[in-house]
Amino acid sequence: MKACASIRFKFQSLKQRDTLFAALLPEMRTASVRSRAVLQKEGAFLVLRVEADDTVALRSALNAYLRWISSMINVLQAL
């Protein structure tokens, strides 16, 4: 059984979207045994898709990506 989630983040600035995309790209390339993540740009949106072998792995991967994204957004807002 596979678990999956898709989250769309809307940005007012394409520059912010592109900055976040570039910052997360190295993490997307890192292989994980139990989960896989894909990040895509769709207009003003950044779309995170996570697929995992089970819900525990999905929750773990989502928590990690959401924490990174939240931290980066906080830094961008402070700048």
**CB under 8 Å to 36, separation ≥6 — which residues?**
50, 51, 52
Residues 15-54 have pLDDT tens digits of 999 999 999 998 888 768 899 999 999 999 999 999 999 9
The DSSP-derived string for the chain is --EEEEEEEE-S-HHHHHHHHHHHHHHHHS--SSEEEEEEEETTEEEEEEEESSHHHHHHHHHHHHHHHHHHHHHHHH-
pLDDT band at 58 (very low <50, low <70, confident <90, very high): very high
Domain 3-78: CATH superfamily is: Alpha-D-phosphohexomutase, C-terminal domain (3.30.310.50)
- Report yes or no: 47 and 65 within 8 Å, Cβ to Cβ: no
Q: What is the pTM of this model?
A: 0.85
